[in-house]
Amino acid sequence: MVLNNKKLFNLPPEIVGKADISSLLRELELLESELIKLKGQTSLSASQKNTLLRVTNELAQTAAGNSYDLKIASDRQKLTRILTDVRDQAPMVHISFAAEPSPKVTQAILSWLRGNVHRYVLLDIGLQPAIAAGCILRTPNKIFDLSLRASFEKQQPYLIELIKGAALNQIAPGAAVEE
Amino acid sequence: MNNGGVLMITGGALLAIAVVLYFDWRVKNPRAKKPAAPAPTTSQAKKLPIDAQPQTIVSAKEDVEHIFNDEFREELRNRGRLHFEKIIGENAMFLQQDLRQTTTQLNDYMRAEITRTLQEEFKKYEQSIVDAKQIALDSIEKTVTTIEQQRQLMETQMQTQAQAQRNQIIARFESQMAAIINHYVMQAIGNQIDLTDQLEFILTELENNKADIIEDIKRGS
């Protein structure tokens, strides 16, 4: 299994979910077919070939991050195989926000997950406006409510104390000051 | 003046009238003045003719006729009338004085009686007023006591109900507090809160649940 190799594959944070990996795989297939086409065209110069072989930033980063050269067929095949394994075997985590998260937020969360939970975690991002603030994380068997409301519920005794203190201060500010 | 004085005056006046009437009756009935000498019987008078009667008797008859003639009777009548008028005048004066005194005493007596009666009635009236006042005060006191008891009862009930309602509201607030605070927070910050701002909070929460997430991922994979 590729994921268990000693030389670990680095999945860049720009690759968020299965859709991104599938996109990379399609791009690799396209690149492979383009290279096959270019092999027969000897009239093209090297610069023209480089222009035709232009890839997306995500694929370039993925290849560069793992020291693969996309011009080399074996590297492309390895990359394709690894990405396929990741797509099929990597753990999926569903995360919901109240609004569409920015790439910065997604990458930050994904970096944390890949650094602390699993190296190849893939995210499936959803929307739940009722969350208001925070997020809800759903792993294969559990749901983690990381919203602000859940945080308030956990801190209910502390909130009650805060409200009582505020009420007492409002009723008798002089007495509260003395205390 | 007492009743004895009035009776004496009235008796004196009646006595004087009786004396006058007696003399008048004696004048009109001269034969009634000879009760002492027994009258001769009819047979003896018939037996003695006038010439045969004694001289003294004849002269006496003449004197009597002379004494009780009309002039003398008129004189006596005038004297009696004067005396009667004098007695009537004196008695009338006494009677007037006594009557005035009696009237004064009667007025005093009536005044005293009326005053005493009025004072008694006033005392009764005052006592009635005092009693009525006391009854009214007792009634008012009872009413005030009853109202106070009712007020305390209502106050206790209202406090109990208010406390129960307050506890219920607090319990409901505490049970829904997270949602309420979340709602207020969202109302307060609205769309100003960005996911980028929430990132630290999310990462902290992820860190808090890290072990469970890893466990579930391992189990799932």
Spatial distance between the Cα atoms of A41 and A98, rounded to a whole number of angstroms: 52
A135's CB contacts (< 8 A; 6+ apart) are A95, A96, A97, A109, A146, A147, B198, B202
Residues A6 and A85 in one domain: yes
Higher pLDDT, B65 or A139: A139
End of a domain among A44, A68, A89? A89
Q: Testing the interface with B: which of A112, A155, A161 to mutate, by most B Cβ within 10 A?
A: A112
Spatial distance between the Cα atoms of B186 and B196, rounded to a whole number of angstroms: 16
User: Which uninterrupted H or E stretch holds B86?
Assistant: helix B70-175
State the Cα angle at A130 between A127 and A136, rounded to 5°: 60
Q: Tell me the pLDDT tens digit for each residue of B172-220.
A: 887 777 777 777 777 776 666 677 777 888 888 888 888 888 888 887 7
Within-domain flag for A82: yes
Q: How far is C-alpha B220 from the chain's CA centre?
A: 111
Residues A55 and A22 in one domain: yes
Burial of A3 (0-12, 13-18, 19+ CB in 10 A): middle
Q: Confidence band (pLDDT; 50, 70, 90) for B53? A: low
Task: Assess whether pLDDT exceeds 70 at residue A117.
Answer: yes
In this complex, is the C-beta atom of B155 within 8 Å of any C-beta atom belonging to chain A?
no
Q: How far is A33 from chain B (nearest CA, A)?
A: 34
Q: Tell me the pLDDT tens digit for each residue of B91-109.
A: 888 888 888 888 899 899 9
ipTM: 0.74
Nearest CB to B205 within list A132, A134, A160: A134
Residues of B in contact with A132 (CB under 8 A): 182, 185-186
In this complex, is the C-beta atom of B213 within 8 Å of any C-beta atom belonging to chain A?
yes
Residues A33 and A60 in one domain: yes
Q: How far is A78 from chain B (nearest CA, A)?
A: 23
Residues A58 and A18 in one domain: yes
Residues A84 and A97 in one domain: no
| CA-only gyration radius of chain A, Å | 25
Nearest CB to B217 within list A105, A109, A118: A118
At residue A46, the pLDDT reads: 61
Query: Which residues form the domain of A131?
Result: 92-154
Residue A132 and residue B182: Cβ atoms within 8 Å?
yes
Q: Confidence band (pLDDT; 50, 70, 90) for B31? A: low
Residues A58 and A31 in one domain: yes
Q: How far is A90 from chain B (nearest CA, A)?
A: 8
Domain regions of chain B by residue span: 3-132, 177-220
Task: Assess whether pLDDT exceeds 50 at residue B119.
Answer: yes
At residue A44, the pLDDT reads: 61
How many C-beta neighbours within 10 Å does residue A106 have? 20
Nearest CB to A156 within list B174, B205, B209: B174
Residue B6, CA distances (Å) to A81, B1, B177 in order: 165, 8, 114
Q: Is pTM beyond 0.80 here?
A: no
Residues A78 and A60 in one domain: yes
Most confident of the ranges A54-68, B162-176, B178-192: B162-176
- What domain count does chain A have? 2
User: Which uninterrupted H or E stretch holds A98?
Assistant: none
Lowest mean pLDDT among A126-140, B78-92, B129-143: A126-140
Residues A64 and A120 in one domain: no
End of a domain among A89, A113, A134? A89
Mean pLDDT of chain A: 79
For residue A163, the one-letter residue type is I
Residue B182 and residue A89: Cβ atoms within 8 Å?
no
Spatial distance between the Cα atoms of B198 and A104, rounded to a whole number of angstroms: 12
Spatial distance between the Cα atoms of B170 and A165, rounded to a whole number of angstroms: 15
In this complex, is the C-beta atom of B195 within 8 Å of any C-beta atom belonging to chain A?
yes
Higher pLDDT, B40 or B148: B148
At residue B41, the pLDDT reads: 47
In this complex, is the C-beta atom of B197 within 8 Å of any C-beta atom belonging to chain A?
no
Task: Assess whether pLDDT exceeds 90 at residue B46.
Answer: no
Spatial distance between the Cα atoms of B100 and B1, rounded to a whole number of angstroms: 9
